[in-house]
Amino acid sequence: MINSLVQAILLGGYYALVACGLAFMFQVMRIINLAHGSLAILSAYLVWEITDALALSPFISVLMVLPIMAVVGLLLQRVILERATKGGELLPVLTTFGLAIVIDNLLFQQFGANTRSLAPYLGDLSWDSYEIFGLWVGKLPVIVLLTAIVVIGGLDLVLRFTPLGRQIRATAFDPETAGLVGIDSRKIAGISAAIAMMTVAISGTALGLRGTFDAYAGGPQLLFAFEATIIGGAGSLWGVFMGGIILAIAQSVGALIHPQGFLLGGHLVFLMFLFARIYLNSNVFSLKHWLIKRRHKGDSL
């Protein structure tokens, strides 16, 4: 049982890593990027191509992919999302959904249906483990968990204590008012999309290191990212981190109950948190409406 809990926490680190970019983009631009998973798979293929062609370590290759994905994020914001947001709240969702389909099919056309993995390029690290109090813990999952902590902690520090972070938070809160005080909201949105895509590159690499991927593996990654974001709350990056841990623990408990309960356990916990958030938000809205009515009634007297 303890071993299952430890493995679940390590898996939750990956879920948090893949979810932080989705949550960051929603937090800043209020856009649910349905192409998030497909872009992570695109990043994994880029890292695999560079690693295979240049005989480099995947850890070196991902450093080369980071600026590429940052440019992809900037172009995504300027060419697609910026225009889509002018058409209402639904259009960006439909646009990114269509983009995901395009990316998936292009990857399938280029690489076929065969799976790929970055693990063969790691040597002993792909299977080596630590022994901690009688438990065997894989070195690679530990690296992924620590990477998630560093990425989320770094983003949190940037948002809290840097001028760029303050501009991002101001733009997320009210873009029009931010523009009145001299903040270029368009520029900040582009930078935010670039940052989000860099986290996507890291999460795609983590997927390739932990297991295998193919052209259509983006859908499940998007689902895990979305569930972790809802469970933890999109307004907090550390909340998303805890959401990933909770999702992984729920999946592990489901697998212990039934061999086919791995995904079902995570889905059930996700639905519980979703309905709880809907219920709480509706009650808060009703309370605010009641207080406004009482205040107006008092003013009229």
Please tell me the distance from the alpha carbon of residue 200 to that of residue 213, in angstroms, as a whole number.
Answer: 15
Cβ pair 215, 113 in contact under 8 A: yes
Tokens of residue 141, six digits = 């999952």
Structural domain range at position 292: 2-300
Q: Are 29 and 239 in contact (CB under 8 A)?
A: no
Instruction: Report pLDDT for 211.
Output: 87
Contact 62, 166 (CB under 8 A): no
Residue 236 DSSP one-character state: -
Return the SS3 of 205.
helix
Confidence of residue 287 (pLDDT cuts 50, 70, 90): low
Q: Among candidates 269, 131, 101, 117, which has minimal Cα distance to 208?
A: 117
Determine the average pLDDT of the residues in 113-137: 83
> pLDDT band at residue 236, thresholds of 50, 70 and 90?
confident
**CATH (domain of 211):** 1.10.3470
**Token pair 């569930």 in the structure block, residue:** 227
CA angle in degrees (0–180, nearest 5) for 43-49-149: 40
- Cα separation of 300 and 246, whole Å? 49
Residue pair 185/54 in contact (Cβ under 8 Å)? The answer is no
d(CA 222, CA 184): 30
pLDDT tens readout for residues 4-20: 888 899 999 999 999 99
CA 211 to CA 188: how far, in whole Å? 35
**Count of domains forming the chain:** 1
Distance CA 263, CA 142 (A): 22
pLDDT at 293 over 70: no
| C-beta of residue 211 within 8 angstroms of C-beta of residue 5 | no
Distance CA 209, CA 227 (A): 22
pLDDT grade, residue 301 (50/70/90)? very low
The 3 state secondary structure assigned to 98-124 is HHHHHHHHHHHHHHCCCCECCHHHCHH
Q: Dihedral through CA 80, CA 82, CA 87, CA 90, nearest 10?
A: 70
pTM: 0.89
pLDDT category at 243 given cuts 50, 70, 90 is very high
Place of tokens 């729920």: 250
The predicted model gives 238-253 an average pLDDT of: 93
- The count of other CB atoms within 10 Å of the CB of residue 10 is 21
Question: pLDDT digit string (tens) for 154-196?
Answer: 999 998 899 998 998 888 877 778 777 788 888 888 999 999 9
CB 195 within 8 A of CB 24: yes
The angle formed by the CA atoms of residues 163, 165 and 171, to the nearest 5 degrees, is: 105
Q: Tell me the pLDDT of the chain averaged across its residues.
A: 87
pLDDT tens digits, one per residue of 49-99: 999 999 899 999 999 999 999 999 999 999 998 888 888 778 888 999 999
CB 9 within 8 A of CB 248: yes
